[in-house]
Amino acid sequence: MRAFEYASPETREDAVKLLSSKAGETAVLAGGTDLLSLMKDEVVTPARVVNIKSVEGLGGISYDAGSGLRIGPLLKLDDLEADSRVRSDYPSLQQAVDGVRSPQIRTMGTVGGDLCQRPRCWYYRHGFGLLAKWQGKAMVPDGDNRYHAILGAGPAYFVNPSSLAPALIALGARVNILGPKGSRTVDLASFYRAPSREEESENVLAADEIVTDILVPTAAGRKSATYEVREKEALDWPLAAAAVSLQMSGSTVKEARVVLGHVAPTPWISKSAGQALKGKTVSPETAMQAGEAAIAGATPLSRNRYKIQLARVAVKRAVLRATGMEEV
Amino acid sequence: MPEYNWPEPSKRRHIGKRTSRLDGPDKTTGHATYSYDVNRPGMLFAKILTCPHAHAKITKLDVSAAKSMAGVKSVRITQDVGTEIQWELDEIVAVAATSEEVADDAIRAIQIEYELLPHFVTEEHKDKAPSSEVAKEESTGDPDAAAAAAEVKIKGFYGIPAISHCCMEPHGQVCEWEGQDQLTAWCSTQAVSGLPGQFADKLEIPTSNVRVITPYMGGGFGSKFSADRWGIDCAEMAKEAQAPVKLFLERNAELAVAGDRPSAYAKIEVGAKKDGTLTYWSSESWGSGGIAGSRGSPPLPYVVEVPNRRQKHISVVTNSATARAWRAPNHPQACFLTMSALEDLAAALKMEPLDFFLKNVGLMGERSDIYESELQKCADLIGWKQRWHPRGEGKGPIKQGLGLALHTWGGRAHNSNCEVTVYPDGNVEAKLGSQDLGTGTKTVIAMVLAETFGLGLDDVKVHIGDSRYPASGGSGGSTTVGGVSSSTRRAALNALAQVFEKVAPGLDAAADQLEIENGAIQVKGTPDRSLSWRKAAARIGPTPITASGKNPGPGKLNDSGVGGVQMADVSVDVETGVVKINQLVAVQDCGLIIDLKTAESQVYGALIMGASYALMEEKILDPVSGRMLNADMEFYKLPGIGDVGKLEVHMMTGERHDKRGVIGLGEPPVISTGAAISNAVANAIGVRVPYLPLTPDRVLDALAKGGAA
């Protein structure tokens, strides 16, 4: 790891002031579970690391019957999972945290960190950049792409690594962002983007902005679930995941939001999967139809065709899990 | 001359009992000092500049900026301009500095340029390999006639990739000089006694001037027998800097360069009579263990000596570091290839694999009776007869299946020397230049010592892990426990004979009339003419008694040749391709067992390692860049406790095994696990997944080509 300057501000404003507007010059340190390995591998080499753990007001979780959940970005994943409101009203969130199978990461890792962790793409982690170029040519199509994107891919082929984002997006979450020009609120659904140039990052945060709040509307009348397909029970990122949030009217789906994880450079919001469920009674057949709709348009690379099937099944099982009809 | 044998079962105090490893508390509390933990006063830290390319020529190298940095004490060029580098992460320059950070800065200050050359890392496509050669070609009986006459025949393709050893403690050492020609090296090694010669040879000093110390070992699995180039660099830098130097590999190099089990792919044809009797085998196999080719070939067909057989193996060269012995070299590959093909044949014959193997047990060599018992025992433990079903039956998306495999290994005791000292206060200690890789070697030695003197384990001390002790072989090939238990037994009996000489007059008997019984020396069969051990020891006088023993030596204390059977119970989700292990059962023989608990522990560990390479492990080399893409603990996937299922181990014991003496156990139990799991998956889903590891992509691919979806 290279030498760096360390700052530990106590207010949000000071934290933002300590961040450079130029990407890569500074880095935000929360739980550190991702940043430290990125720095050790010299994938990022910030001149200054800004620790935000001492910043007031960035932690905690609270609930208001009108506005819903407010989650501080510094909330530890274990504390999110343990929250009684999360457990009662937001099962998809709890299930998503359960997928983070490392006690170390759940203990140190934060909600904001999960949302902002960098892609796990092995080309990116080897220093080939988010677009993974080798001698000017894209590496992923000709390389080993077994874990890469099947949707929305190219020129970025990495998959969004967040465990929580699909569930939060399906629940309609927004995030407050603070920068030198003040604060703004964006839908989490619009937070991520697939970079088309190497200078772009995978989300809309400017280099000198931080997430200050994650806001999740009340879940009244909603049923939600997350389903991850994993090849390993111990620490690992899923091969594919789906989160659903269903607005029910009796046994009929009034409105459905379906978001896939680990299949595209962003959490993949499938409007057609939502449409496929709208007005239907949930059954294995309608759940499967949603799965089929979700993967329409998927374009596999040389080694990841199997992920289309995994995504389809993840959607089906998430829908069935949300409505208590799990088959397996 | 004492009689050199093992005590009768009725007289054993320790041997065959379950004893917890003696260094367990030290390890679990962190008191055990591994070589990685050694820190010497004034010690420097070394880092290595490695090549990021799989094949390249060094065209420019300038280390001047690194050399002139404050805190840098030694810069050593291992490979200079003009050298053609043949694998990623090969060592170019080593630097020793006052801290890890300074060493890192120095590495970054080195200017180096390469000319990239074409690389080849995908040996499954052997026809595209720039370099390959026939490594083995042989034929027995009349395979052509047998092929024509076979009543049932199958053809299959199977593949098992290269994997890494993935030692938790990476390769490396701390080197410290005294004067100009006395070297002490704290190494993570499997060969404490063998390493001084390797250092001495390269450093051009007398072997007796090199001391290697390894009190604890954090995993080797066959990859740590060499001083390695980085070890010599470490010693050279310590000499130049006149300070101790610590050099251990980074995790990526540990995975990419310091460990590799060769891959194996095979096209196999196998045939039998309708009643299941095997008659015909033909295989064309190939594989790579990196730049040196496949390093031997899998023994095919494995265990079962099919009467008419033909085998050809092709060694393929890839731009990857040279393979190292991995727990039972070539056997897991041979077992997977053979047992998969045989299970496929059994399915074509519509026979239960258990019946099929029992039918052919006569082809399993001189200990076929043991295989037969092990097959039956294993089947009982997993409930085979009640639970086995023909391939691909089962409702719903989760399909359950059973599979089996069997294996063999040698495990002949290595050469070992032991020195035993009996002190006048009754304390007893043994010294051996051996090492405990985490297998329980030290505990086994203590048990033999205590057994021979009729003492408790607290009354004896065992010193190993230092090349100044009497030389003992490297720990490879399952040779250690046979070697050290035999040399210790002989040394202890020799020391005891000397004690008998000293106390015989006082008991009015000849020395050869004495025996050890219940912690006392007595005239044979006469407990009222006895001396407690302490009192007896007091009579040896002020000078302790020392005796040595070695292996090989007189008396039958050890043997070689073991077998084992393993069965797996799996569930496969045919919608996702995810394989879950429900249960693994291992039945294993290894002659006379000294410590039943550490023996079982070896097998449990092997099952976990086997589950790991069956479901997850694979060195993934990038066809584009030639780099190992998963040289880290995130993508080089290893199982957690929730991934390995319920494990059950049964060790074969009793007279049939006892009378053979001690046989090593390190390798054999890891051999069958991959094959058994693969066969269980085939049984579950009705189709063979031709590759390990059994990842969802491969399972779904096999299902798409025909199976029980």
Whether residue A245 contacts residue A61, with contact meaning beta carbons closer than 8 Å, is answered with: no
Going from the N-terminus, what domains does chain B have, and what CATH number goes with each?
9-32+414-551 (3.30.365.10), 35-118+171-248 (3.90.1170.50), 334-411+560-704 (3.30.365.10)
d(CA A137, CA B225): 41
Token pair belonging to A318: 């998430």
B615 in contact with A, Cβ within 8 Å: yes
Maximum CA extent, chain A: 59
Question: Do the bridges between strand A26-29 and strand B578-588 make them parallel or antiparallel, or are there none, so unpaired?
Answer: unpaired
Whether residue A38 contacts residue A118, with contact meaning beta carbons closer than 8 Å, is answered with: yes
Global ipTM: 0.97
Q: Shortest Cα distance from B702 to chain A (angstroms)?
A: 11
pLDDT at B488 over 50: yes
For residue B529, the model assigns a pLDDT of 95
Report CA-CA distances (Å) from B268 to A72, B144, B306, B675: 60, 14, 13, 15
Q: From the list B398, B625, B643, which residue is nearest A234 (CB)?
A: B643
Burial category of A3 from C-beta neighbours within 10 Å (exposed 0-12, middle 13-18, buried 19 and up):
exposed
**Chain-chain contact of A230 with B578 (C-beta, under 8 angstroms):** yes
The helix (run of H) or strand (run of E) holding residue B639 is none
**Chain-chain contact of A306 with B697 (C-beta, under 8 angstroms):** yes
For the residues A13-25, what does the mean pLDDT come to? 97
d(CA B7, CA B492): 13
**pLDDT confidence bin for B707, thresholds 50/70/90:** low
**Chain-chain contact of A239 with B573 (C-beta, under 8 angstroms):** no
Task: Name which of B582, B622, B632 to mutate to probe chain A: the one with the most chain A Cβ atoms within 10 A of its Cβ.
Answer: B622
B397 in contact with A, Cβ within 8 Å: yes
Report CA-CA distances (Å) from B370 to B331, B358, B652: 19, 11, 9
B119 in contact with A, Cβ within 8 Å: no
For the residues B288-314, what does the mean pLDDT come to? 96
Question: Do the bridges between strand B460-463 and strand B428-431 make them parallel or antiparallel, or are there none, so unpaired?
Answer: parallel
Which residues, 6 or more positions from B607, have their beta carbon under 8 angstroms from its beta carbon? B566, B584, B586, B644, B647, B649, B669, B670, B673
The helix (run of H) or strand (run of E) holding residue A107 is helix A103-108
Which A residues 141-180 touch B at CB under 8 Å? 142-144, 146
**What type of residue is B111?**
Q
Q: Shortest Cα distance from B50 to chain A (angstroms)?
A: 14
End-to-end CA distance of chain B: 70
Helix and strand element counts for chain B (H, E) = 18, 26
Count interface pairs A-B at CB distance under 8 A. 89
Q: Which phi-psi region, left, alpha or beta, contains residue B158 (left: φ > 0; alpha: ψ -120 to 50)?
A: beta
pLDDT at A59 over 70: yes
Token pair belonging to B10: 């009725």
DSSP string, B246-291: EEE--HHHHHHTS--BPPEEEEEEEEE-TT--EEEEEEEEEE--GG
For the residues B643-650, what does the mean pLDDT come to? 98
Token pair belonging to B579: 């394989």
For the residues B672-687, what does the mean pLDDT come to? 97
Q: Within 13 Å, how many C-alpha atoms sit on residue B54's CB side?
A: 22
- Helix, strand, coil share (%) of chain B residues, nearest 5: 30, 25, 40
**Chain-chain contact of A101 with B640 (C-beta, under 8 angstroms):** yes
d(CA A185, CA B328): 60
3-state secondary structure of B191: coil
pLDDT at B328 over 60: yes
Q: From the list A101, A126, A232, which residue is nearest B616 (CB)?
A: A232
Alpha-carbon radius of gyration of chain A? 19
A65 in contact with B, Cβ within 8 Å: no
**Chain-chain contact of B578 with A233 (C-beta, under 8 angstroms):** no
Q: B10 φ, ψ to 5°?
A: -70, -20
Report CA-CA distances (Å) from B646 to A233, B528, B570: 14, 52, 11
**Residues B506-538: tens digit of each pLDDT:** 999 999 999 998 889 999 999 999 999 999 999
d(CA B600, CA B649): 6
Token pair belonging to A15: 């934290």
**Residues B84-100: tens digit of each pLDDT:** 999 999 999 999 999 99
pLDDT at A108 over 50: yes
Burial category of A157 from C-beta neighbours within 10 Å (exposed 0-12, middle 13-18, buried 19 and up):
buried
**pLDDT confidence bin for B709, thresholds 50/70/90:** very low
Token pair belonging to B628: 């190992």
d(CA B573, CA B687): 14
pLDDT at B708 over 50: no
The helix (run of H) or strand (run of E) holding residue B343 is helix B331-348
Q: Shortest Cα distance from B577 to chain A (angstroms)?
A: 9
Chain B: residue whose CA lies nearest to A316: B575
Residue A126 per-residue DSSP state: I
**Residues B400-454: tens digit of each pLDDT:** 999 999 999 999 999 999 999 999 999 999 999 999 999 999 999 999 999 999 9
**Residues B201-241: tens digit of each pLDDT:** 999 999 999 999 999 999 999 999 999 999 999 999 999 99
Question: Do the bridges between strand A26-29 and strand A252-261 make them parallel or antiparallel, or are there none, so unpaired?
Answer: unpaired
Whether residue A203 contacts residue A177, with contact meaning beta carbons closer than 8 Å, is answered with: no
What are the strands of the beta sheet with B514-517, ordered from one edge? B514-517, B520-523, B526-532
B643 in contact with A, Cβ within 8 Å: yes
d(CA B229, CA B242): 20
Q: From the list B397, B616, B623, which residue is nearest A143 (CB)?
A: B623
Contacts of B697 in chain A (CB under 8 A): 146, 303-306
Q: Shortest Cα distance from B482 to chain A (angstroms)?
A: 37
**Chain-chain contact of B622 with A139 (C-beta, under 8 angstroms):** yes
A22 in contact with B, Cβ within 8 Å: no
